[in-house]
Amino acid sequence: MSLQESGPSLAVVGVTGAVGQEFLSVLSDRDFPYRSIKMLASRRSAGKHLTFQGRDYLVEEIAPDSFDGVDIALFSAGGSISKEFGPIAVEKGGIVVDNSSAFRMDEGVPLVIPEVNPEAVAGIRAGSGKGALIANPNCSTIICLMAATPLHRHAKVVRMVVSTYQAASGAGAAAMEELVLQTREVLEGKPPTCNIFKQQYAFNLFSHNAPVMSNGYNEEEMKLVKETRKIWNDKDVKVTATCIRVPVMRAHAESVNLQFEKPLDEEKAKEILKKAPGVVVIDDRAANRFPTPLEVSNKDDVAVGRIRRDVSQDGHTGLDIFVCGDQIRKGAALNAVQIAEMLL
Amino acid sequence: MSLQESGPSLAVVGVTGAVGQEFLSVLSDRDFPYRSIKMLASRRSAGKHLTFQGRDYLVEEIAPDSFDGVDIALFSAGGSISKEFGPIAVEKGGIVVDNSSAFRMDEGVPLVIPEVNPEAVAGIRAGSGKGALIANPNCSTIICLMAATPLHRHAKVVRMVVSTYQAASGAGAAAMEELVLQTREVLEGKPPTCNIFKQQYAFNLFSHNAPVMSNGYNEEEMKLVKETRKIWNDKDVKVTATCIRVPVMRAHAESVNLQFEKPLDEEKAKEILKKAPGVVVIDDRAANRFPTPLEVSNKDDVAVGRIRRDVSQDGHTGLDIFVCGDQIRKGAALNAVQIAEMLL
């Protein structure tokens, strides 16, 4: 039971969505202390009732005065809600941990993975009356960097080639439902319902639905490129990515090819990853057992395996790895709550 | 109707399997001429009846004398059958086009993609009485090189980083059935049947089930590395691959990062690919329309899209592309029949 006088007052924005619901699970699982919590959503979801830690809450429509007296607001209601209400919450002295991409690349807004760059939130304290915006990175970036950073610290990554295998959850709860619905339809020989995605997703895969930019990359891919540079505070690191949606429910997988400045052999890499916080190594070559999205679903840790010297690079300055992480949890809600924990 | 006196005598080995059945479709679709055709399989499938081009055939059990008088034998019944009966067919003066990996890396055995290295079968003629073994490359290699080779010819690929999204069909008809069965079970809340694969495949993905070698690569990945070198006759080309099975039925997708010796901009690359035989370009950035496995299923052409300059490489010597191809068709049966066509 984490309702206590000394805790901060919280607000969860977008509480009825997939990530919003996971905020509540994670707060509860981690016994996050709070003296009050507001459940906020858009007009469409306002008026619903939620039970959280044995109490009944009314979901309120987000409004400027929702943020009066709020110390920490966890936002996951899309970029436009963040843009409209994030600055209001900050002005009222609250700290916004924002899961949207609205502010991620803004100068002065920390973009944080607690295991990677906790220093970025130094000096920001909940309840100090001094508001601040903190951005939660994109799910693919978080999952990739959880595994790549410990290796980067040891041997400095100079180039990274990422191919993703992204779950339905990244497009929200409705997308997960559509994947189930489509799968039933296809099995019954019916044409698939395409409301969320414009094409068949069941037993298929497709290039990520984010808009494609003039350089041919989609926005999801450029997030991996730009957010990595910001989080690592290394404007020279070279990253390319190809982001693909696969018919998996809630955990992403990523095939990551790494090029290092210094030599790093695979045994040393395994040793480093085994010690890395929030990372679990699953790498049993004899049993052909490696990370899968299903295995990390609803789990906190990011799993890494297929750790091997890249045969296409000379010497020992290249590695291939395969990473899986729960998109809703470490890719979104858990990471945001971990940021909030650093503010207490 | 392609039954004609002047055609070669054919044998299809493993005719009841997924690729075996596709051999028949492709022979029929392409009006392949033959004066006789033997339907061969292991004891388990022998005795079945098949209808092909309006005639009834008995499936016979493979035996040494099955190959008496056979001009071209299309094999797809696994490596051990190829090893046992391939040399017998050759000794009897037949030409074996083998879809297994048994002979691919053997010196003197041509490894052929007709659009890529037709010169490798120069001098081999069906019906000459001079037997020969020709190997069909692995499906992932064929699909990758169909797109990479036209670019390689123009600007020379020096390094290639491949991540695959492989369909159930690569593990055979039973694997496709298990994916459907598992999916039904998962949707009904039942535990999934795991006979072919040792873990849940429905709504999941996993590292390719091929055995993992001492260098940490699985055999499927090393096929991409080694077969590329042999097909391109370039022992220096650097390739790394991560091979993943995704819950898709019969077409593979591959994310391919290319590093060239010479500059090649994306517009030129598109132009080259649009003219490449057996390749179709699907690359509509505004509509976010790119190749999908579903779209290429049961099609001959390999589709390529997401053609863009790699932002992680300086200048214009790097490209990212995304390729999809039907695993059973161009990845196996079609390619083998195209090889057979070159022997007439």
Confidence of residue A4 (pLDDT cuts 50, 70, 90): confident
Domain ranges of chain B: 9-137+332-342, 140-327
User: Does A22 or A315 have the greater pLDDT score?
Assistant: A22
β-pair type (A302-309, A318-326): antiparallel
Q: Exposed, middle or buried: residue B184 (CB in 10 Å: 0-12, 13-18, 19+)?
A: middle
Residue B57 Cα, gap to closest chain A Cα (Å): 31
pLDDT digits (tens, 9 = 90+) for A135-167: 999 999 999 999 999 999 999 999 999 999 999
Q: Which percentage of chain B shows pLDDT scores above 70?
A: 100
Q: Please report how many Cα atoms fall inside a 13 Å half-sphere around the Cα of residue B28, on the Cβ side.
A: 11
Interior/surface letters A185-201, b for 16+ CB within 10 angstroms, e for the rest = ebeeeeebeeebbeebb
pLDDT digits (tens, 9 = 90+) for B187-237: 999 999 999 999 999 999 999 999 999 999 999 999 999 999 999 999 999
Contact B112, B137 (CB under 8 A): yes
Q: Exposed, middle or buried: residue A139 (CB in 10 Å: 0-12, 13-18, 19+)?
A: buried
Find, in chain A, the residue whose alpha carbon is nearest to that of B186. Answer: A180
| A-interface mutation test, from B181, B204, B236, most A Cβ less than 10 A away | B204
Is A308 in contact with B200 (Cβ distance < 8 A)?
no
Residue type, A261: E
Q: Exposed, middle or buried: residue A56 (CB in 10 Å: 0-12, 13-18, 19+)?
A: exposed
Q: Is the pLDDT of residue B1 over 80?
A: no
Would you give the distance in Å from CA B47 to the centre of its chain? Answer: 28
pLDDT digits (tens, 9 = 90+) for B96-131: 999 999 999 999 999 999 999 999 999 999 999 999
β-pair type (A49-52, A55-58): antiparallel
Fill in the DSSP letter of residue A192.
Answer: P
Query: What number is the average pLDDT over the span B240-255?
Result: 98
Q: Which percentage of chain A shows pLDDT scores above 90?
A: 97
Rounded Cα distance between B278 and B330, Å, is 9
Is B216 in contact with A305 (Cβ distance < 8 A)?
no
Q: Is the pLDDT of residue B270 over 80?
A: yes
Contact B164, B140 (CB under 8 A): yes
The interface predicted TM-score of the complex, written ipTM, equals 0.96
Query: What number is the average pLDDT over the span A200-204?
Result: 98
The beta-carbon neighbor of B165 closest among A216, A244, A312 is A244
pLDDT digits (tens, 9 = 90+) for B283-340: 999 999 999 999 999 999 999 999 999 999 988 999 999 999 999 999 999 999 999 9
Q: Is the pLDDT of residue A6 over 90?
A: no
Find, in chain A, the residue whose alpha carbon is nearest to that of B292. Answer: A206
Is B246 in contact with A249 (Cβ distance < 8 A)?
no
The beta-carbon neighbor of A212 closest among B187, B285, B310 is B285
> What residues of A are annotated to the active site?
139, 252
The Cβ of residue A96 has, within 10 Å, a number of other Cβ atoms equal to 26
CATH code of the domain made up of A140-327: 3.30.360.10
Give the E-state strand segments of chain A in sequence order: 9-13, 36-41, 49-52, 55-58, 60-61, 72-75, 95-98, 132-135, 157-166, 206-207, 238-245, 251-260, 279-281, 302-309, 318-326
pLDDT in the model for residue B199: 95
Rounded Cα distance between B313 and A237, Å, is 11
DSSP B50-95: EEETTEEEEPEEP-GGGGTT-SEEEE-S-HHHHHHHHHHHHHTT-E
Mean pLDDT of chain A: 97
Contact A141, A162 (CB under 8 A): no
Backbone φ and ψ for B104, nearest 5 degrees, come out as -55, -45
A193: left (phi over 0), alpha (psi -120 to 50) or beta: beta
Rounded Cα distance between A103 and A236, Å, is 22
Query: What number is the average pLDDT over the span B146-169?
Result: 98
Q: Is B139 annotated in the active site? A: yes
Is A257 in contact with B253 (Cβ distance < 8 A)?
no
Mean pLDDT of chain B: 97
pLDDT in the model for residue B4: 81
pLDDT in the model for residue A23: 98
Q: Is the pLDDT of residue A320 over 60?
A: yes
Backbone φ and ψ for A241, nearest 5 degrees, come out as -150, 145
**Residues of chain B found within 8 Å of residue A187, distances taken between Cβ atoms:** 180, 183-184, 187
Tokens at A99, concatenated: 């899961």
Query: What number is the average pLDDT over the span A261-284?
Result: 98
Confidence of residue A1 (pLDDT cuts 50, 70, 90): low
Residue A46 Cα, gap to closest chain B Cα (Å): 31
Residue B74 bridge partners (DSSP): B12, B97
Cα three-residue angle A212-A216-A220, rounded to 5 degrees: 50
Rounded Cα distance between B163 and B208, Å, is 11
| A-interface mutation test, from B158, B163, B239, most A Cβ less than 10 A away | B163
Query: What number is the average pLDDT over the span B146-157?
Result: 98
Q: Is the pLDDT of residue A2 over 80?
A: no
pLDDT digits (tens, 9 = 90+) for B10-43: 999 999 999 999 999 999 999 999 999 999 999 9
Fill in the DSSP letter of residue A275.
Answer: H
Interior/surface letters B125-157, b for 16+ CB within 10 angstroms, e for the rest = ebbeeebbbbbbbbbbbbbbbbbbbbbbeebbb
Of the options 3.40.50.720, 2.60.15.10, 1.10.1040.10, 3.40.50.300, the CATH number for the domain spanning A9-137+332-342: 3.40.50.720
